[in-house]
Amino acid sequence: LNKAVGTKDIPTEVTTAVRNNGGGHWNHSFFWKVLAPAESKEADYQTAASDELKQAIEDGWGSLKDFQAKFNEAAAAVFGSGWAWLGVDDSGKLVISTTSNQDNPLMKAVVKEANTPVLGLDVWEHAYYLKYQNKRPDYLNSWWHVVNWEQVSHNYEQAKAGKLPSTA
């Protein structure tokens, strides 16, 4: 699905519906997998994140705190509805990217920065409005307490091996 978006593989008359609804399904299925209960072992970065992922974050941003600040900055800058992503690019490096609406970094034909996602954050207003109203930065800061670092580490290993993350 993600590879086909933006190509002639999808009939023109259903392209928009497939991109929006298919993208939304994939993005949300992925999103649920990278969440864990707050204060669970999976949400503890120090013990749940793999050494390889920790090193890649330190290599890219210096520290977890600096990475989180850059990720939050990117997520806060999404105009309107969209997503923020941590992914592995073609060179194997971790990158932060954003997409509009229900697009994701696997949709190479329609996104600026294609990569294989290892972590994704829904920044559509529906994701946070009931609890945070229009305070997206508060949502972004709180979200880090429920990231499933075990799953993110697994996604990272898969991406480094050239495999797509599972959404099942």
Instruction: Give Cβ neighbours of residue 138 (< 8 Å, ≥ 6 apart).
Output: 132
Q: Is 21 helix (H, G, I), strand (E, B) or coil?
A: helix
Q: What share of the chain is helix, strand, coil (3-state, %, to 5)?
A: 50, 15, 35
For residue 86, the SS3 value is strand
Total Cβ atoms within 10 A of residue 90: 10
For residue 126, say whether it is annotated as part of any ligand binding site: yes
Q: Please indicate if the annotation marks 51 as binding a ligand.
A: no
Per the annotation, does 122 bind a ligand?
yes
Query: What values do phi and psi take at 163, rounded to 5?
Result: -105, 150
Binding residues: 28, 122, 126
Binding residues for Mn(2+): 28, 122, 126
